[in-house]
């Protein structure tokens, strides 16, 4: 791709090497397995461990913490490549990358001891913020963590926990001060083998199969106070800060899926003949592809711009929200157009674009819905221009 070629000139040698590793893995392992992961809806543990073996979970983590010592920009490049092969595996990749960074930035020396396990895939992490009655309004969560001596007692139910069925540890966001709104939330690490942790029902999802999502309930689960990550009552801001990075991950994931759909659409439009010629010869098809190419290139630039700012330790609430909103919306539209270019075949599971169409839809919903992204953008630009 021309846009890729231009951007590649700005990659460091190390970034190009990591990208090549991710692309090789994606083409040889992820893409061939993607249809089976979707069909069987089982957690792809072997593939997860292969990513760990390649050191990819530590891509954005400093070397002193056991990581590869690269940056958010490289994590975005890797994510795009992985999601190009399998959106679900791309999604799975984000979880340990984000968890290791979260533990590193906010955890104590004791919490840091978990990082090697997260990086080698032997400790599977999950994050539980959302509840059955509370998603976008994080400050309204009802799960409580009551202090009793040197323990917290956690009670409540979390919904939609990605990796919930397979997680060894869950970072649970709970109210430690029920009266204090967003200033009363803490993050507490809960080992899932503790009495009272109940892994519940998994939903039948439209797409992104294989991620072991489920409800997790906490029935008076006792954990030592040492399991508190970050300051007591200070987790809301930690979560919001974390969203900046995770939104770049989700944007890159949607970007990789859009890239895959465009590649498929171009190939299909050359193979498929109607009215005596390849359908690519029809301007209607070419214009759909032209718009895909334009928006994919623009999304890549938005993401990489935000990632570079993040790596330069600049605030990116605006840029991360813009990248997430633009990329996930454009990916949904263009993957739908790629499906259209496949005609009836696009509606069949025999073609990858059908899965991409289902998988990408989630990216507009989680890590803050796209309505929430618009609210963030509107607030940020209001601050800039009033
Ligand atoms: C497959 C899957 C995996 C997930 N994984 C995780 C996970 O690992 N951990 C976790 O904690 N959560 C996870 N989530 C939850 C996800 O983050 C939430 O679904 C998301 O934040 C939206 O919350 P909600 O579903 O409660 O929707 P709601 O907040 O109820 O929103 C419903 C609708 O109202 C809109 N809306 C809400 N408030 C406003 C407003 N102020 N202005 C305008 N519109 C508004 C929303 O944009 C949306 O369109 C996952 C969800 C799914 C589907």
Task: List pLDDT tens digits, range 179-226.
Answer: 999 999 999 999 999 999 999 999 999 999 999 999 999 999 999 999
188's enclosing H/E stretch is strand 185-191
Ligand 1: which of 127, 135, 139, 208 to mutate, most ligand atoms within 8 Å of CB? 135
- Cβ burial, residue 105 (10 Å; 0-12/13-18/19+): middle
Ligand 1: which of 366, 370, 375, 378 to mutate, most ligand atoms within 8 Å of CB? 366
306-322 burial, b for 16+ CB within 10 Å, e for fewer? bbbbbbeeeebbbbbbb
Tokens of 329: 């919306």
Ligand 1 centroid vs 368 CA: distance in angstroms? 6
pLDDT in tens, 43-58: 999 999 999 999 999 9
- 125-233 sits in which CATH class? mainly beta
Q: Which atom of ligand 1 is closest in space to residue 129's alpha carbon? A: 11
- Mean local confidence (pLDDT), 54-67: 96
Q: Rounded CA gap, 137 and 295, in Å?
A: 31
Ligand 1 centroid vs 383 CA: distance in angstroms? 25
Residue 250 clears pLDDT 80, i.e. is over it: yes
Q: Partners of 185 in the beta sheet?
A: 175, 234
Which residues line ligand 1 at a C-beta cut-off of 6 Å?
A: 127-130, 135-136, 160-162, 205, 208, 213, 362, 365-366, 369, 371-372, 375
Of the listed ranges 13-17, 73-77, 167-171, the least confidently predicted one is: 13-17
Residues with Cβ within 8 Å of 306's Cβ and at least 6 positions away in sequence, in order, are 248, 316, 319, 320, 322, 323
**Do 277 and 379 meet the contact criterion of CB atoms below 8 Å apart?**
no
Q: Which entry of 53, 179, 367, 382 is annotated as an active-site residue?
A: 367
Q: pTM for this one?
A: 0.97
Closest Cα partner for 76 from 277, 298, 291, 250? 250
Q: Rounded CA gap, 358 and 335, in Å?
A: 9
**Do 368 and 320 meet the contact criterion of CB atoms below 8 Å apart?**
no
pLDDT value of position 3:
46
Residue spans of the domains in the chain: they are: 2-120, 125-233, 236-385
Ligand 1: which of 130, 162, 249 to mutate, most ligand atoms within 8 Å of CB? 130
Q: Rounded CA gap, 88 and 83, in Å?
A: 7
pLDDT value of position 2:
44
pLDDT in tens, 77-127: 999 999 999 999 999 999 999 999 999 999 999 999 999 999 999 999 999
Residues with Cβ within 8 Å of 192's Cβ and at least 6 positions away in sequence, in order, are 167, 168, 169, 170, 199, 216
Tokens of 244: 């900046």
Give me the architecture of the 2-120 domain, per CATH: Orthogonal Bundle (1.10)
Closest Cα partner for 313 from 72, 70, 76, 79? 72
pLDDT value of position 9:
65
136: left (phi over 0), alpha (psi -120 to 50) or beta: alpha
pLDDT value of position 7:
54
Query: Which CATH code is given to the segment(s) 236-385?
Result: 1.20.140.10
Q: What is the DSSP letter of 203?
A: P
Ligand 1 centroid vs 98 CA: distance in angstroms? 19
Q: What is the DSSP letter of 28?
A: I
- Mean local confidence (pLDDT), 234-256: 96
Q: Rounded CA gap, 49 and 35, in Å?
A: 19
**Do 163 and 127 meet the contact criterion of CB atoms below 8 Å apart?**
no
pLDDT value of position 121:
98
Residue 63 annotated as catalytic: no
pLDDT value of position 135:
97
- Mean local confidence (pLDDT), 245-261: 98
Q: Which atom of ligand 1 is closest in space to residue 134's alpha carbon? A: 26
- How much is the mean pLDDT over the chain? 96
pLDDT value of position 8:
61
Q: Rounded CA gap, 216 and 228, in Å?
A: 19
Ligand 1 centroid vs 246 CA: distance in angstroms? 15
Ligand 1 centroid vs 249 CA: distance in angstroms? 17
Q: Rounded CA gap, 350 and 35, in Å?
A: 9
pLDDT value of position 5:
47
Q: Which atom of ligand 1 is closest in space to residue 372's alpha carbon? A: 47
pLDDT-derived band at 4 (thresholds 50, 70, 90) equals: low
Q: Partners of 172 in the beta sheet?
A: 128, 188
Ligand 1 centroid vs 149 CA: distance in angstroms? 35
């Amino acid at each position: 791709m021309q846009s890729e070629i231009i951007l590649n000139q700005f990659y460091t040698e190390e970034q190009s090497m990591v990208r090549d590793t991710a692309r090789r893995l994606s083409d040889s392992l992820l893409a061939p397995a993607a249809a089976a992961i979707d069909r069987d809806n089982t957690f792809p543990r072997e593939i997860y461990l292969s990513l760990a073996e390649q050191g990819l979970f530590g891509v954005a983590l400093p070397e002193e913490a056991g990581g590869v010592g690269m940056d958010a920009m490289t994590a975005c490049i890797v994510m795009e490549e992985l999601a190009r092969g399998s959106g679900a595996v791309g999604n799975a990749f984000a979880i340990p990358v984000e968890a290791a960074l979260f533990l590193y930035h906010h955890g104590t020396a004791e919490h840091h001891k978990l990082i090697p396990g997260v990086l080698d895939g032997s400790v599977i992490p999950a994050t539980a913020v959302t509840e059955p009655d509370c998603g976008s309004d994080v400050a309204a969560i009802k799960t409580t963590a009551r202090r009793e001596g040197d323990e917290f007692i956690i009670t409540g139910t979390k919904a939609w926990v990605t990796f919930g069925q397979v997680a060894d540890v869950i970072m649970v966001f709970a109210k430690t001060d029920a009266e204090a709104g967003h200033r009363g939330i803490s993050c507490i690490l809960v080992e899932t083998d503790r009495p009272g942790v109940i892994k519940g029902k998994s939903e039948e999802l439209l797409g992104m199969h294989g991620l072991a999502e489920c409800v997790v309930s906490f029935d008076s689960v006792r954990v030592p106070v040492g399991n508190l990550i970050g300051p007591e009552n200070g987790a809301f801001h930690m979560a919001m800060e974390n969203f900046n990075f995770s939104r770049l991950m989700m944007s890159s994931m949607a970007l990789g899926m859009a890239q895959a759909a465009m590649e498929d659409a171009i190939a299909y439009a050359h193979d498929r003949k109607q009215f005596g010629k390849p359908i690519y010869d029809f301007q209607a098809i070419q214009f759909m592809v032209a718009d895909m190419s334009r928006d994919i290139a623009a999304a890549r630039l938005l993401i990489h711009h935000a990632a570079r700012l993040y790596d330069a330790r600049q605030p990116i609430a605006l840029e991360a929200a813009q990248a997430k909103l633009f990329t996930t919306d454009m990916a949904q539209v263009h993957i739908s157009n790629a499906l259209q270019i496949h005609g009836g075949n696009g509606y069949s599971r025999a073609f990858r674009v059908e899965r991409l169409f289902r998988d990408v839809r989630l990216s507009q919903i989680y890590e803050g819905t796209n309505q929430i992204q618009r609210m963030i953008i509107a607030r940020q630009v209001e601050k800039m221009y009033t």
